[in-house]
């Protein structure tokens, strides 16, 4: 597929990687509908795209809300005059050990259902329903070829203190294979990208000591930037022979 032919949704598009992807697609002449809960930042991204070759439109989207997803997909299709892709980028972190012992009191503490459900709700259930509704719309309208890109994570291999996040991101990588097989009848390819540590608002909020420790473990010697991941996004979009696989873009980091 050509970038200029895209009519694509980017979730989590108000900042970080999502905003970067949207701008790069619009620079190439494509159309992008960005969704996020941060409406003020959505407006900033839309405003900054006025002079680009393509277009960016934005609307509030809460991927943890099934009704919000359905409404957003219908709106995006109408605004762009079609729909042929999705970058499943929205995500949240709520890290913590599944079971831990307080060093001072000896009290045993467990990860709560709220902490688990929030991360699974956004990163897995919401991402899955985004795929479902986008593919359903494309199948209904006969729009093809199409492409779905799931943002997994290096954490999919397992990482201490991230049981909730690991579960979601590992499932997305596995379902990339499942969906590639299911959606071939609709002419839709499905790929995934597993970023390592990337400079985004989410990683900037990490514990400083944990962040510094991770950086020291990266063989290329630096934190990644959204452009590093964009190059993988562009490859998946443009390479029509790529399907059902996950690309790790992590600077050589292993956890």
Which residues belong to the active site?
A: 165
Evaluate the omega torsion of the peptide bond into residue 145 and state whether it is cis, within 30 degrees of 0. yes
Token pair of 82, please?
């079609």
- 186 contacts 172 by C-beta, under 8 angstroms: no
Tally of helices (H runs) and strands (E runs) in the chain: 9, 9
**What tokens appear for 107 in the block?**
């009290």
The dihedral over CA atoms of 189, 85, 250, 120, expressed in degrees to the nearest 10, equals -100
Return the SS3 of 12: coil
Give the angle subtended at the CA of 122 by the CAs of 87 and 60, to the nearest 5°. 65
């Amino acid at each position: 597929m050509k970038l200029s032919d895209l009519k694509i949704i980017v979730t989590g598009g108000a900042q970080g990687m999502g905003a970067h992807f949207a701008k790069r697609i619009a620079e190439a002449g494509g159309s992008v509908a960005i969704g996020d809960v941060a409406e003020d930042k959505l407006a900033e991204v839309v405003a900054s795209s006025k002079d680009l070759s393509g277009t960016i439109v934005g609307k509030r989207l809460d991927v943890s809300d099934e009704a919000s997803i359905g409404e957003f997909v219908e709106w995006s299709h109408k605004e762009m005059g079609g729909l042929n892709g999705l970058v499943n980028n929205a995500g949240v972190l709520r890290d913590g050990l599944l079971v831990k012992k307080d060093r001072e009191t000896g009290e045993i503490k467990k990860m709560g259902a709220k902490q688990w459900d929030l991360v699974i709700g956004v990163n897995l259930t919401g991402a899955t329903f985004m795929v479902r509704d986008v593919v359903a719309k494309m199948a209904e309208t006969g729009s093809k070829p199409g492409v779905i890109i799931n943002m997994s994570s290096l954490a999919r291999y397992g990482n201490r203190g991230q049981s909730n996040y690991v579960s979601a991101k590992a499932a997305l990588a596995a379902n990339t294979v499942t969906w590639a097989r299911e959606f071939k009848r609709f002419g839709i390819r499905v790929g995934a990208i597993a970023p390592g540590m990337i400079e985004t608002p989410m990683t900037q909020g990490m514990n400083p000591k944990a962040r510094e420790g991770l950086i020291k473990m990266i063989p290329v010697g630096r934190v990644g930037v959204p452009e590093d991941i964009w190059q993988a996004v562009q490859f998946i979009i443009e390479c029509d022979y790529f399907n059902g696989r996950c690309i790790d873009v992590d600077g050589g980091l292993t956890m």
